[in-house]
Structures are given as C-alpha cells and as structure tokens.
Amino acid sequence: SLLPPLLALLCLGVAQPTADPDEPWCPYKVGGDGGAAAGAAGARLCFRPPARGFQCAARGCRAHRSAGGALVANVLRNGSVLLQWGLRHWGPPARPSAALRGFELNCSWDGTYTRFPCDSVELGAACRDYLLAEAHGSVRYRLCLRPRYAPPRPAPPAQCVEFRVEPAAMRDIVVAMTAVGGSICVMLVFICLLVAYITENLMSPALARGGRAGAA
C-alpha cells in the first residue's frame, strides 16, 4: 500500500524544520497499542521543536524522576506531561555521538486488574524531551526510556518513571473553591468596612445627642 509512505511524506512536508544547527528538531515515530500491533504501516513520522529552558514551576507542575535520574516526567496542571532526559545518567561515558541511534519510549497504565500498553515512541538521537499531550486523570502511568546505540555496543537498561495525573474534576473543584474563598474574603472585608462606617458616622452622632439631652 502506498498510503503510509504518502502520509509520512505529507507529515514531513508540513512539519519540516528550517535548517538551523543550533536548534535540532526532534524526529519521532508513534505506534499505537504499544507499537507491536500497529506495525510499521501504522506508525507516523513527524517532527517537534525541543522544549529548551523549561523548568517545572511548583505552582503548576509536579516533577517525577526515575531511580537512575535520567528520566523526568513533568506533570502539568492542564493534564499534559513533558518528559525530559539526558545521557550522562546511563552509566559510563557513551561512545561518540554518531554511535547513538535514538531512543525507545514505552508507555503503560494500570487498569482495574491488569496493566495496559499505551503508545510506544521511537525518537531520534537529537531528542531530549517528548510531550504526552493528553494523559488520563486518576490513572497511574509507567514510562520507560532506553537509548539505542550502534553495534556492537548493547543497549543500556531502561529507566522508568511512574506518576499519576490529577483528575480534571479535582482540578475544577480546587479552582472553584479558590474562587469561592476569594469571593467570601472580599465580602467579609466589605462587611467589616460597612460596619465600621455605620459605627463611625451614624451611631456616634446619635450617642452624642443622647448625652447632651441627658445633661440638660
């Protein structure tokens, strides 16, 4: 079938980066259902710009790091997850960069009785991050990343990170409670100011007139 090559060419034509050696774009290929069932015909090749300079702010992001420290999952408040990694945490120094073929990313999540595979991704050697745009709430994810090198060097063991995305409903409840709490605070301040105004401007003259009448 000519459809998969045509789709790949279309994707390349739409997302082809400009030639900039300082900004290498990340080529990646996504396979659904763990990648094994999809096969080569079901994968699509695309490019994405690197998310350089990203830092996980405590107010809107929570970072989860793998045991070896190579892989970090930045879980954002909007339900997306930005993965970041480096090579220096994978044991001894690597061979020259030309020997690095890319990375393999495998994803799975816990169901009621078993663990289900989600998308597997093959990433190019220039990739150092990947965005999981839509993660389900209240689901525990496990993502494992492993670099691939040219023979005869074997692939090092994968590093994995586990995390749970906060449910969207819970985020809405927190936002709503924050808004209601702010409104209540504003109302209390307004009531206090109103009571102070009434006490100062209405009650004081009445008490003063009552005092003068008693003295007469």
* Structure confidence at residue 166 as a pLDDT band (50, 70, 90): confident
The answer on pLDDT for 60 being more than 70 is: yes
Task: Evaluate whether the domain defined by 26-33+42-166 bears CATH number 2.60.40.10.
Answer: yes
Give residue 63's pLDDT: 92
Q: For the segment 104-161, what is each residue's pLDDT rounded down to a tens digit?
A: 999 998 877 777 888 889 999 989 999 988 788 878 899 999 998 888 777 788 999 9
- The average pLDDT across 87-103 equals 70
- Alpha-helix residue ranges (DSSP H) falling in 68-203: 168-198
- Evaluate the CA torsion angle 66, 70, 74, 75 in order and state its sign: negative
Residues 176-201 pLDDT 10s = 455 555 567 767 777 777 777 777 77
Q: Is 119:31 a contact under the CB 8 Å cutoff?
A: yes
Instruction: Please work out, in degrees rounded to the nearest 5, the angle formed at the alpha carbon of residue 92 by the alpha carbons of 86 and 97.
Output: 55
